[in-house]
A and B are shown apart, each in its own frame.
Chain A
């Protein structure tokens, strides 16, 4: 496999941190190969001169989409919280966010 020039192991480690995915060193090597193969292929776009072509983000342009301002019943809170890994007092429960003890 080997490392493709399009992306380095350091870059893959950085991207994994951004994407919040824990990886081992072996896995970083593996994904460097996988992503490298795709990005190598993607380099064919580099030769295209598309400066005059605007980007297209969405196939069917719709603007200012509002639904009618009518009250309706939301999804049941208890039914939602029943599916959460941890919940208490009508809320989702998570580990400490700011490094302090809960």
Chain B
């Protein structure tokens, strides 16, 4: 499997044709997506036309852009004009948006070729894709396990070699956690760095779009393409976009790296979490971080210290309440955002005697179990008599998180933690809602604060499955985050390829 950089370089120089690259990826999808189910829709015909246009541009001496001819998969909650955008919900089955999301326009303008729309937990509510109305996506490392979620289809697509790049959305960890479970790189940018225009809204004060890639440099390239102010998103930050790729070559010498105590367990329970550089953890255990995951994070910290960074422990106490605050605020925002699915303007309608009955029957038939639960939870958290105790209190915890991060970033340039408390789990293993929600323990804090965070593969845990290390940075601090991520990538032990992708690279047409 090639990187997006290599593919675009070859196509721009004429060494490869976009049409040939596309057929190679379509062939892998054809051969293996029956097993993985990364895609809701494969847009083969449209992609062939787009690839032909890229080749024509090269023939005419025009540069198609930094992603020339690179096949890209979009999470199926990103609007694509004329192409079904389902959010993996019966509610939007068959809906064809009348416009493209800003990120879709940006990727296309940079020369990328949309290859398909990827599966997700319904309306991005979940951590495993088990809540998709169209069946789950399977992890390319082990088809009996989940790929993570909600952007599990995008993560699995990149891990399986169905596309070198994909976009997803991250509301509570939905890019970083599946990237971690699938052994690839995933970035949640600063809230407002990337336009949300055309992203189907889940929880608007958290939602952020970001890239998946097989390495940090490809992720940085895609991040640069989709970043920037957009007048169509009023929460988009009017800040200049740095040269993210330049950040990769910088060393970590002099950078201060803080390991978050609350998210790296403790030696007290007898788990082996000692580190030569840091000693035993002083922080409190936060419900179930697997010992092997914590060990990889501490090894990552040691590797950064070896590379010249100043590494220390830091306490961010409010993160222990992040999960609770998030699972009140996000459903509250969702209950408002999903009120639009009322059978009137798009998607499903179930007829009723009057408009209200039509609304109730439509929403009964169109929403799955988890979506209904979250809408009702949010409605309750906002309802008269409970607002202060739940929604109001959660917003104060959000401020506390912001303050604790600010204090930590006064002493450290970036923070380190696990991305996920565990490696990829088996289907059905986390059926209890609170058990599933705990998948997001380490990722939620950066959604509460709005800060950027990313997952980088760093070795394996149980069953030889990938472990991801999370690198967090203050708002608009993507450059330091990428510098550290690139250093971790250089230091990481080699990751076995997923069996599917390994098979693809031996049988594939000369990539």
Contacts from A to B (Cβ < 8 Å)? 7, 11-12, 15-16, 18-23, 31, 34-35, 37-39, 41-42, 44-46, 48, 50, 53-60, 62, 65, 67-68, 75-76, 79-80, 82-86, 92, 94-97, 99
Given A60-B450, A95-B355: A67 and B397 interface contact (C-beta under 8 Å): no
- Residue of A44, A94, A96 with most partner-chain B CB within 10 A: A94
| Partner of A37 from B96, B358, B397, B433 at Cβ < 8 Å | B433
List the A residue with the shortest CB-CB distance to B396: A50
Interface SS majority for chain A: loop
Given A46-B389, A55-B392: A94 and B321 interface contact (C-beta under 8 Å): no
Q: Which of the four size classes fits the interface of chain B?
A: 35 or more
In the complex, per-residue mask of B315-331: 1 if CB is within 8 Å of any chain A CB, else 0: 00000010011011000
Shortest A49–chain B CB gap in Å is 10
Q: Does B201 contact A (CB under 8 A)?
A: no
Q: B95, A19: Cβ atoms under 8 Å?
A: no
Contacts from B to A (Cβ < 8 Å)? 95-99, 190-192, 205, 231-232, 234-235, 237, 321, 324-325, 327-328, 335, 339, 342-349, 351-361, 363-364, 367, 372-373, 375-377, 379-380, 383, 389-390, 392-400, 402-403, 432-434, 437, 448-451, 475
Cα-based distance from A80 to B396 in the complex (angstroms): 40
Known: A44-B324, A94-B358. 9 other contacts (CB 8 A): A16-B376, A31-B373, A34-B433, A41-B327, A53-B399, A54-B399, A95-B351, A96-B353, A96-B355
| Partner of B191 from A35, A60, A65 at Cβ < 8 Å | A60
| Partner of A59 from B205, B346, B389 at Cβ < 8 Å | B205
Cα-based distance from A49 to B394 in the complex (angstroms): 12
Q: A35, B393: Cβ atoms under 8 Å?
A: no
Q: A22, B364: Cβ atoms under 8 Å?
A: yes
Q: A56, B395: Cβ atoms under 8 Å?
A: yes
Which residues of A sit under 8 angstroms from B358, Cβ to Cβ?
Answer: 94-95
Q: B364, A23: Cβ atoms under 8 Å?
A: yes
Given A16-B376, A20-B356, A21-B367: A37 and B349 interface contact (C-beta under 8 Å): no
Q: A45, B397: Cβ atoms under 8 Å?
A: yes
Shortest A62–chain B CB gap in Å is 7
Cα-based distance from A54 to B191 in the complex (angstroms): 20
